[in-house]
Amino acid sequence: MIPALRLAVVLAAALLAGATQAQMTDATAIVEAANKASYYAGDDGRSAARMMIVDGNGNRQRRQFTLLRQDVEDGGDQRYLVVFSRPADIRGTVFRVEKQVGESDDRWLYLPALDLVKRIAAGDKRTSFVGSHFYYEDISGRGTSEDRHSLIETTDEAYIIESTPRDPATVEFARYRTRIDRDTLLPMRTEYERADGEVYRRMEVTEVETIDGYPTGTETRMTDLDSGGYTVTQFRYSEYDIGVPADIFSERSLRNPPRDWLRRD
Amino acid sequence: MGRQIASLAMHHPRLVFLATLLLTVIGTALIPLIEIDTDPENMLPADQADRVRHNAIKEQFNLHDMIVVGVVNEQRDEGVFNPRSLGAVHTLSDAVAEIDGVIRRDLLSLATVDNITQAGPGTLRFEWMMNTPPQTQAEANRIREATLDLPLFRDTLISGDGEATALYVPIESKDQSHRIAGEIEALIAGLDSGDEYHITGLPVAEDTFGVEMFIQMAISAPLAALVIFALMWGFFRSVTLVVAPMLMAFAVVLTTMGALIGMGYTVHIMSSMIPIFLMPIAVVDSVHIISEFADRYRPERGARETMKAVMGHLFKPMLYTSITSGIGFASLAFTPIPPVQVFGLFVGAGIVLAFVLTIVFIPAYVVCLKPERLAAMQAAGRQRDPEHTPLARGLQGLGGLALRHAKWVVSGFAIAIIVAGYGISQITVNDNPIRWFQPDHRIRVADRVLNEHFAGTYSAYLRLESDVAEDAPERLRETADSILDDAAQDDVALREAWERMRASARADSETFEAELEALGSDLSDRLFSADEAAIPYWESLLTAVDEARGALNYFQRPEVLGYMADFEAALVEAPEVGKVNSLTHLVRTVYRELRSGEPADYQIPESRRGVAQTLLSFQGSHRPHDLWRMVTQDYQAANLWLQLSSGDNQDMQAVVERAEAYVAENPLPEGVTMSWGGLNYINVVWQDAMVKGMAQSLAIAWVMVAVMMLALFRSLRFGLLAMVPMTVSIALIYGVIGLIGKPYDMPIAVLSSLTLGLSVDFAIHFIERSREAYRRTGRFLQSMRSVLGEPARAISRNAIVIAVGFTPLLAAPLVPYNTVGIFLASIMAASALASIVLLPALLSLGRSRLMPDVAPLTDESTEERS
């Protein structure tokens, strides 16, 4: 669940060349390529995230965490470890996620002050990520098969995809529209609509850098248009293919975070 | 003076008519700009401290006024927790969220809230409480159990007996609540679930009141006009004569309302009563004029001369009565409540306008009548012989009785005053906007049903604020200094780098919290590049910064939350408080579920970090922003939402007192202050201001009127005597209010000025005419007989006109109007009686000083005219 915002992450191997893609015409293929570009760059990755959560009245909260990711299978299952460092009162709080495509994720939470490990069974993945305007699903990626996708427009720069949920009862949106960059295949803007067509939620990638050859969204913003609140997340010190061992993503790491792997070089 | 003005008006009737018409047209033209205001907040000036704080609290905690929709099913054992009913609730909730003006994200219903529960050992489950409507009874039962299990929802979203549910619909602004409530009703009508739906909440009550106020103005005011017309016709039997004061009254009402609206004042519950107040008051002077004119008119003398005589005679008492009535109302300007001030000043101005129009318009009108009509009128009047009507005989009889048994009468009144004094001491000050509606009004019914089932549909907010941030920068500086000194002793020079770091963090931050966070980030970064020797000191500094930051999160401290929890438990003991919702419930509930889910774990975590991490877990829900209704994002202020089952100001007052008593026994944590917000609290504040303000305004008006009486009668004795009937009437009326237990509310409060302004009129006329008769006759009893004739009739007629003129208020759909109607009639009766009975009795007791017989007894009758 947790990992880097879609932008946070990486670009699909296919894009490595960085060459302009041939025009794609199949909506599902575009969405799958975008999913890989956003969430599956390299075999693993690490990133230091800073989040600023701003509500409609301008009140701000901040969060800082390190994100470790390992792909079990490219485009498939993944493991995540999210370790919080700030605010200081939540330092050492850890989320561990085993993302399972086609099934609900396994999530664990470690709260150091209570010395408590708890498995979290969420009814859905569209709950807030630590009080921000991002949902868990925005961070770990929404299964591409959960929606029907159609390519409604292809411009010089982007594919515009409209997606509608296969099971409307599990989500709060009626549809969403994604603008996918034709070069990087990163989704640069996603707008969620209600049944009457009103856009109430918008995700934008506001900065992209190419890191280790992978175009990476390094700053992204989620806006709640109802309240005027938004969250900006910056990803710094992103690295890919660092060779994280699989046993880092275990329950042991919750109580004893793998310092060496969390520290940036 | 009166003769000259009347004469001038009678010479230029067209000019008078034209001017009156012009004034009326301008006034009427402004009326469509009307803006209705039923917001009780406006009972306080916009910059009043409590009101400012109320709004600050609302903004600080994202609080909105709420419409409460309750769903009840008395027919089924499981109440509304069955698939069909919950399906309807789900449908309604979805549709309500779509209504314009509803704050969707804060809508509270089973369909919009989260459930947090245990899902097997070591597993915590977060999910929507009712994402889709239940298909089976078992699923409905599960929803019931889950909701009952969450303290923040029990008695709020679900009734304690598990049979009813409620939706709390937050709205953007109160003035939309009537429309939104209407749309919700339309949605409910389409549900067909067999459940009872009730809509209530203060904003609905207030806004609905505004709508019904229009009905009142559209029905009661014209009805009053009709009643007054009929009455006057009954007195004078001449449509021609009676039409004049009616036209004049319309002119006064339309001009006054036009001026009020045109000057940009909103029409509040008080000012909506202006037409019905002015209508009868505007015609009273005319009643005196017409009364006398009809009695005195003889064709051979001519209308012009008769009118001149009448006006010469009545000008002074009319001038004084108008000014005193005007003062009575205008004195309301001394209350600290803007709508009451506006009401008083405009009624006062309307009375003065009525006087001016009366002395020019009525003579101008009468002189334009054809002599034949006047003759016919006079002939009609003749047939009825004004001296021998039942009213005339009754008045003579009553006056005679008072004169013969003066001691008894005075003693009777004295005893009544003593009883009234006791009654006044029993007065309870109270108001409740819901009670503005009749008991069978659907809002009252909803209020009753929902407050039986739930913790309460009325909200008050108790805010606790900490000043922990005040000396935080100083504390950090001291800690940092000592670390830097230690480092310096170790030959590690950090001070310069530290100061630079602080300066740059400060430059980038708006708040000290943000500065600390920036500083913390910089320090962590610094640790990567620091010299080996410096690292321990940088780490100490980082710890100090983090600790300083954490310490600012005041309402995460377990001991503070513990205090709050105890305080809340004490508040809930109060019968008026149904429930308190706060951060302590949220923290304890989430902590319970993080642990075992068992009641034993319904605790506040032992450390501040434990609280912080518990709250972080909560923030992974569908509605993390709910937290910010209970605590500010800097954790330096907390909000206790008190659900009260009654909207009575008295009950709110009791809660405030209980809170103060608790805090006196158990002092707030150091640096914490307590303050109140919420509509119910605002009501208490203005009510308090009103009681004090009314006493003051009454005292000021009384003195002003007394001074005028001295000026009018140029006699201390007669001046004070004139104050007696009015003072007695006010005492009696408020005594009765206290004795019957009628709460002293806003409409009752303004009655005092009304009494003051109107009942002194009767005394003025009575005394002025008595003295005139006495000057003529030189004998007391003859003077009395004379004054108990035509003047007493005019006084009684006026009392009747006003009393009956207000009775259409009884037909109004709203209780405050009914109250005013009933009490006005009583006041008129009391003060007319006090004038006609008490004054002769008092004069009789003091006749040797006031009106000693100086002339020999003659046969002079009351018909004798000067």
Q: Is A250 contained in some domain? A: yes
User: How far off is chain B from A128, nearest CA to CA, in Å?
Assistant: 5
Alpha helices, DSSP H, located in A89-172:
136-140
- With H, G, I as helix, E, B as strand and everything else as coil, classify residue B315: helix
Angstrom distance (rounded) from CA B239 to CA B230? 9
CB neighbour burial string for A191-217, b if at least 16 within 10 angstroms, e if fewer: bbbbeeeeebbbbbbeebeebbbbbbb
Which residue on chain B is closest to A50 by alpha carbon?
Answer: B521
Angle at B609 between CA B603 and CA B613, to 5 degrees: 75
A129: nearest CB among B59, B610, B620: B620
Q: Which of B374-388, B546-560, B850-864 has the highest mean predicted lDDT (pLDDT)?
A: B546-560
Q: Which residues of A touch B595 (CB under 8 A)?
A: 116
Residue position matching structure tokens 């890191």 = A211
Confidence (pTM)? 0.85
Give the separation between CA B501 and CA B510, rounded to whole angstroms.
Answer: 16
State the helix-helix crossing angle for B790-806 and B746-777, rounded to 10 degrees. 170
- Beta strand A116-122 with B123-128 is parallel
SS (H, E, C) B470-529: CCHHHHHHHHHHHHHHHHHHCCCCCHHHHHHHHHHHHHCCCCHHHHHHHHHHHHHHHHHH
- Residue B228 CA to residue B286 CA, distance in Å, equals 12
pLDDT score for A5 = 46
Residues 514-543 on B with a CB inside 8 Å of A are 514, 517, 520-521, 524
* Nearest Cβ partner for B122 among A114, A119, A129: A119
Q: Which tens digit of pLDDT belongs to each residue from A179-232?
A: 999 999 999 999 999 999 999 999 999 999 999 999 999 999 999 999 999 999
When pLDDT is averaged across residues B695-704 and rounded to a whole number, the result is 87
Sheet harboring B672-677: ordered strands across?
B577-581, B637-644, B458-466, B672-677
pLDDT at A206: 96
Contact list, A234 vs chain B (CB under 8 Å): none
B205 to chain A, minimum CA–CA distance in Å?
Answer: 27
CB of A104 within 8 Å of a chain B CB? The answer is: no
Sequence-distant (6+) residues with CB within 8 A of B265 are: B271, B342, B346
State whether B124 and A85 contact (CB < 8 Å): no
Q: Which one is predicted more confidently, A21 or B212?
A: B212
Q: Do A116 and B620 touch (CB under 8 A)?
A: no
Residue identified by tokens 């310069």 is B496
Per-residue pLDDT reduced to its tens digit, A171-180 = 999 999 999 9
Interface of B with A in 562-581 (CB under 8 A): none
Tokens read off for B521: 């980030």
User: Which pLDDT value is given to residue A1?
Assistant: 39
Element at B770 (helix H, strand E): helix B746-777
Report if residue A101 sits inside a domain: yes
Residue B860 has pLDDT above 70, yes or no: no
Q: B310 falls in which pLDDT band (50, 70, 90)? A: confident
Q: Do B104 and A88 touch (CB under 8 A)?
A: no
Query: Quick check: B632 and A59 CB within 8 A?
Result: yes
Which chain A residue lies closest to B545 (C-alpha atoms)? A88
Interface with B, mutate which of A114, A120, A265 (most B CBs under 10 A): A114
Cβ contact A120–B616 (<8 Å): no
Let me know: does B216 contact B817? Beta carbons within 8 Å.
yes
Calculate mean pLDDT across residues B120-142: 90
- Interchain pair B616, A136: CB under 8 A: no
User: In this predicted model, what pLDDT tens digit does every residue of B435-472 receive, in sequence order?
Assistant: 888 888 888 899 999 999 999 888 899 999 999 999 89
The string of DSSP codes covering B736-758 is: HHHHHT--B-HHHHHHHHHHHHH
Query: Residue B468: which H helix or E strand, with range?
Result: none
Question: Token digits for B538?
Answer: 């940088």
For residue B588, pLDDT beyond 50: yes
Within 8 A of A167 by CB-CB distance, chain B residues are: none
Say which amino acid occupies B482.
S
List pLDDT tens digits, range A108-160: 999 999 999 999 887 788 899 999 999 989 988 898 999 999 999 999 999 99
Cα B518 → chain centroid: 49
The DSSP element (H or E) to which B271 belongs, if any, is none
Query: Does the residue A12 lie in any domain?
Result: no
Residues 7-66 of A with CB under 8 A from B: 50, 55, 57, 59-62, 64
Asked if residue A4 is part of any domain, the answer here is no
Would the CB atoms of B613 and A129 count as touching at under 8 Å?
no
Note whether B421 contacts A: Cβ–Cβ < 8 A. no
Q: What is the DSSP letter of A10?
A: -
Q: Is the pLDDT score of B320 beyond 90?
A: no
Statement: residue B93 has pLDDT above 70: yes
- Any chain A CB within 8 A of the CB of B789? no
User: How many angstroms away from the CA of A190 is the closest CA of chain B?
Assistant: 20
- The tokens for A221 are 């913003």
- Residue A60 has its nearest CB partner, among B132, B514, B616, at B514
pLDDT, one tens digit per residue, over B42-88 is: 888 889 999 999 999 999 999 998 999 999 998 888 889 999 999 99
CA distance B602 to B592: 5
B798 vs A263 pLDDT, higher one: B798
What pLDDT does B381 receive? Answer: 61
Give the residue, B477 or B313, on which the prediction is more confident.
Answer: B477
A115 lies within 8 A of chain B by CB: no
Nearest-neighbour CA in chain B from A189: distance (Å): 23
pLDDT at B465: 96
Q: Do the chains contact at A119 and B123, CB–CB below 8 Å?
A: yes
Kindly report which listed range (A93-97, A197-201, B149-153, B283-287) carries the lowest average pLDDT score.
B283-287
Domain around A93: 24-257
Do the Cβ atoms of B24 and B254 come closer than 8 Å? yes
Residue B692 tokens, joined: 């004090």
Task: Evaluate whether residue A102 is within a structural domain.
Answer: yes
Task: Read off the pLDDT of residues A23-66 as tens digits, 9 standing for 90 and up.
Answer: 888 999 999 999 999 999 999 999 999 999 999 988 889 999 99
Q: The CATH number of the domain where A186 resides is what?
A: 2.50.20.10
For A5-39, give one letter per residue: b (16+ CB within 10 A) or e: bbbbbbbbbebeeeeebeeeeebeebbbbbbbbbb
Give the 3-state secondary structure of residue A25: coil
SS3 assignment for B704-732 = HHHHHHHHHHCCHHHHHHHHHHHHHHHHH
Which one, of B526, B135, B157, B136, lies nearest residue B146 by Cα? B157
Instruction: Provide the pLDDT for residue A21.
Output: 52
Q: Give the DSSP H or E segment for B541.
A: helix B535-552
Stated as kind and residue range, the H or E segment containing A71 is: strand A60-71
Both tokens assigned to B480: 């940092």
Q: CB-based contact (8 Å) between A246 and chain B?
A: no
Give the best residue of B99, B613, B614, B621 to mutate against chain A (max A CB count within 10 A).
B613
Residue A8 lies in a domain: no
Q: Is A21 helix (H, G, I), strand (E, B) or coil?
A: coil
- Residues of chain B in contact with residue A229, where contact means CB-CB under 8 angstroms, are 625
Task: Locate the chain B residue with the closest alpha carbon to A122.
Answer: B126
Helices H / strands E in chain B, number of each: 31, 9
Q: What is the pLDDT of residues B739-761, one digit of tens each?
A: 998 888 877 877 777 778 777 88
Chain B residues with CB under 8 Å of A88 CB are 520, 546-547, 549-550
Contact with chain B for residue A234, Cβ under 8 A: no
Query: Dihedral through CA B345, CA B349, CA B350, CA B355, nearest 10?
Result: 150
- In a domain? residue A14: no
Show the DSSP H helices in A64-142 as ranges. 136-140
* B128 in contact with A, Cβ within 8 Å: yes
A89: chain B residues, CB-CB within 8 Å: 549-550, 553, 556, 608-609, 612-613
Nearest-CB residue to B610 (from A91, A114, A227): A114
Q: Which of A57, A88, A116 sits opposite B549 (nearest CB)?
A: A88
State the pLDDT at residue B142.
93
pLDDT, tens digit (0-9, with 9 covering 90-100), for B191-250: 988 899 999 887 788 778 877 877 777 787 888 889 889 988 888 778 888 888 999 999
Query: At A18, is the pLDDT very low, low, confident or very high (cuts 50, 70, 90)?
Result: very low
- pLDDT range class, residue B529, cuts 50, 70, 90: confident
The pLDDT-based confidence of A9 (bands split at 50, 70, 90) is very low
Q: Does the pLDDT value for residue B406 go beyond 70?
A: yes
Print the SS3 string covering B404-444.
Answer: HCHHHHHHHHHHHHHHHHHHHHCCCECCCHHHHECCCCHHH
Q: Please write the tens of the pLDDT for every residue from A54-87.
A: 999 888 899 999 999 999 998 899 999 999 988 8
* Number of domains making up chain A: 1
Q: How many CB pairs under 8 A join A and B?
A: 131
Identify the three-state secondary structure at position A216.
Answer: strand
A108 touches chain B (CB under 8 A): no
CB B244 within 8 Å of CB B362 = yes
- Alpha-carbon separation of residue A135 from A5, A63, B471 (angstroms): 10, 15, 38
* A60 within a domain of the structure (yes/no): yes
What is residue A2's predicted lDDT score, i.e. its pLDDT? Answer: 44
| For testing contact with chain A, the best of B62, B91, B124, B508 (most A CBs within 10 A) | B124
**Who has greater pLDDT, B8 or A63?**
A63
- For residue A64, what are the β-bridge partners? A50, A86
